Structure formats: C-alpha cells, structure tokens
Amino acid sequence: MNSDLLRISSSPHIKHEDSTRVIMTDVLIALVPAAIWSVYAFGYRSVTILLVSVIFSVLFELLYQLIMKKPLTVTDFSATVTGVLLAFCLPVTIPLWMVIIGDFFAVVIVKQLFGGIGRNIVNPAICARIFLFVSFPGAMSSFVKPESSLSAFALTLKPSDIDAVASATPLAMLKQGQFPSESLLDLLFGKNAGCIGEVSVLMLLVGAIYLLVRRVITWHIPVSYILTVAIITYFFPRNSITIEFMLNELLTGGLVLGAFFMATDYVTSPATPNGRLIYGAGCGVLTVFIRYFGGYPEGVSFAILIMNLFVWYLDRYTKPVRFGGDPK
C-alpha cells in the first residue's frame, strides 16, 4: 500500500454519529404527535398550513443562499424545523399568504441576514410569530373551536366561516380573571381553541420526553421555566382558587410548546447548565409578568424573545469553574 494515501487527521479519530441533521430530525419527530393532534382538532387546514410553512421556509433559505452564493445548508433541516414551529404557533384560520410572509421574516430576516445557522440572535420562529402578531393582530387572534370544519385549501377564510365557530382561548378568559369553559383534562388533551400546535399539552409532552431521552435537550430550561411559572401563579393568582388557577396557567398559552421546543433552541439559549436554569427562570418570570400586565394575553413568545437577548451574558457569567479551580 502506498503510504501517501493515508490521511493525517488530528485526533480524535472517531466521531459521535449525531450531526446537526440528526438532531433536527429528532426535533421534527418529537413534533409529530402534536401535529397529528392538530389535524384531529382543526381538520386538514392545519396540514395545509404546516406544509406551506415548511415548503416556503426551505425555499427561502435555498433561494437566499443561491442568490448570495453561500454554501447550501437546507439539508441540515433547521429551516424545516423553523417552518414547523412557526406553523405551530399560528391560528388555523390564518390566511396562507400571511404564513409565507412569516416564513420569509423568520428565515431571511432573522436567520440568514445575521449569518445563517448558529448566528441568529433571536429565535426565528418566535420572532416571526411576534412580527405577524404585531402586523396582523386581527388574523392572529381569531381562534376557532376544535373540530370545526374549515376549508383546507382556501387562501383566506371568509369572516362568516370563522365567526360561526369563533371561540375565545382559555388564556384570554384567564386574562379577564375567569376560568376557561374547558376542564383541565380538556386542556391537557387539547380540546380548546388555540394555535395549531399549542393546544395539546399531552402530545407535546410525549414529544418532549422523546427529546429528553434522545438527549437532544436537557431538563434545565423547561423545568426551571415551568416551575417558575407554577410558583408565581400559585402564590400570586389572578383568581382565588390557587391550584386550579396555577394548572390553568400551565396548560394554556403555549407554555409547554415554548418551554420544551422554543426556549430550548440551541442557538438562542445558554450552553451552560447554570445559564440554562437562570434563562428558564427568566422566561418564567417574564411570561407571568406579561400575561398579568401586558396588553396581550400571550406572554411566552415575548418572554423568550427578551431572554434571547441575555444569552451572551448568561454564558459568560455562568462559565463553569475549571477543573482544579480558576487560576487567580
């Protein structure tokens, strides 16, 4: 054998098989149960929205990279994940063209203009949701009851279609100091009005357990996030029956989706265990604060967006102490 053919690579000479693509695939797998539930709850229109969102996210990433002559990264599936996550936090009644605007905002403005994967400062899906919310408040907050039959393919829905089945979300009820009409069990399963992927807490938890088992995410952020919300809402309820109020707060408003799937986004969350605990707690405090005092009932997106901006500091100030101690 000719020695010239040997590769001189640096150690280590073996690699764990997890690549970015494997991780993103795992996230997609974890989102499947909630996606299936959304079809059950809201009909085929939610499939349409999911597909449109994914296709356009990927397309925008591809086009941007082709036009800017950058290496193509669509095969790492991160744009696909953004597409699904954005669709998950949209109401099923949203006009399809708005979904496309959201995808453009998420992928091109928030992600690519900052330098592509790993460089964005804030979470693309969350940012796009907020962008849509601010631009189209009406469309973004018209919710329907589950099992309402909507056209799967209509570009936009007629107001009459929506009005027939319109419903307030549990979170909006809580905002007014009332208990939602759904039972806690209904909220757990996802038989309430809400965004496509947010409603079924149970299905999201199934996916979350998968992510934890596969070690795609660690427990730190979701646990500290949800625990913080639980503690504050228990001790400072907007209503009087504390435990029930607390559980209502936990099961609604996309808290579970946010805590397990959005706040844990690698790029925009700290890399250290302690940083993650503080980050989660910060998200929790802000979520409750915004829900109680903000103009919108929704607090999760804003809370995560704000905490995104602190990640740089959190990483630095929670730097682990070196083995053997830091030299003076």
Partner 1 sequence: MSLTFRGGIHLPENKNTDQCTITRPREPAYIRVPMSQHIGLACIPVVKPGEVVSKGQLIGENNNGLSACIHAGIAGKVLRIESAINQNGRRDDYIVIENDYSGAVSPDIKPCEKKISELSSDEIIDTVRRAGIVGMGGATFPTHAKIKSAIGKAQKLIINCAECEPYLTANHRLIAENAKDIIYGAKILLKACGVTTGYIAIEDNKPDAIADLKKLLKGDSLLSVKVLKTKYPQGDERQLIYAFEHKELPAGKLPSDLGYVVFNAETCFAVYRAFSTGMPVTERVVTVDGDCIVNPGNVIVPIGTPFSDIINFCGGFSKRPDRIISGGPMMGIAQWDENAPVTKGTAGILALSKDMYHREIPNCIHCGRCVGVCPMHLMPCYFAAYSKINDYESCDAFGVKSCVECGCCTYVCPGNIPIIQYIRIAKSKLTQKK
Residue 235 beta carbon to partner 1: minimum distance, rounded to whole angstroms: 31
Residue 275 beta carbon to partner 1: minimum distance, rounded to whole angstroms: 9
Tokens of residue 152, six digits: 């799967």
Nearer to partner 1, 97 or 312 (CB): 312
Tokens of residue 212, six digits: 């934890």
Binding pattern to partner 1, positions 170-199, x when CB under 8 A? ------------------------------
In this chain, which of 271, 309, 313, 317 binds partner 1, going by CB under 8 A? 271
| Under rule CB under 8 A, residue 267 binds partner 1 | yes
Question: Phi/psi at 60 (nearest 5 deg)?
Answer: -65, -40
CB proximity list for 128: less than 8 A, separation 6 or greater: 86, 102, 103, 105, 106, 110
| Under rule CB under 8 A, residue 137 binds partner 1 | no
Residue 269 Cα to chain centre, angstroms: 13
Closest CA to 39 of 27, 48, 26: 48
In this chain, which of 66, 97, 119, 164 binds partner 1, going by CB under 8 A? 119
Residue 244 beta carbon to partner 1: minimum distance, rounded to whole angstroms: 36
Nearer to partner 1, 66 or 154 (CB): 66
Nearer to partner 1, 102 or 270 (CB): 270
| Under rule CB under 8 A, residue 272 binds partner 1 | yes
Question: Phi/psi at 211 (nearest 5 deg)?
Answer: -65, -40
Residues 92 and 152: their CA atoms lie apart, in Å, by 10
According to CB under 8 A, which residues from 18 to 37 bind partner 1?
Answer: 18-23
Closest CA to 110 of 267, 275, 255, 314: 267
Residue 230 beta carbon to partner 1: minimum distance, rounded to whole angstroms: 25
Nearer to partner 1, 295 or 327 (CB): 327
Binding pattern to partner 1, positions 78-117, x when CB under 8 A? x------------------------------------xxx
Q: Round to the nearest angstrom and report the end-to-end CA distance of the chain.
A: 53
Contact 268, 121 (CB under 8 A): yes
Note every long-range contact of 229-235, with CB atoms under 8 Å and residues 24 or more positions apart, other chains counting. Answer: 229/255, 229/284, 229/287, 229/288, 232/284, 232/285, 232/288, 233/288
Give the total of residues touching partner 1 (CB under 8 A): 50
| Under rule CB under 8 A, residue 69 binds partner 1 | no
In this chain, which of 194, 254, 270, 299 binds partner 1, going by CB under 8 A? 270
| Under rule CB under 8 A, residue 67 binds partner 1 | no
In this chain, which of 153, 235, 293, 323 binds partner 1, going by CB under 8 A? 323
Residues 328 and 274: their CA atoms lie apart, in Å, by 22
| Under rule CB under 8 A, residue 138 binds partner 1 | no
183: number of Cβ within 10 Å: 12
Question: Phi/psi at 121 (nearest 5 deg)?
Answer: -90, -35
In this chain, which of 179, 234, 266, 289 binds partner 1, going by CB under 8 A? 266
Residue 248 beta carbon to partner 1: minimum distance, rounded to whole angstroms: 33
Binding residues for partner 1 (CB under 8 A): 1, 3, 5-23, 71, 73, 76, 78, 115-119, 218, 266-273, 276, 315, 319-327
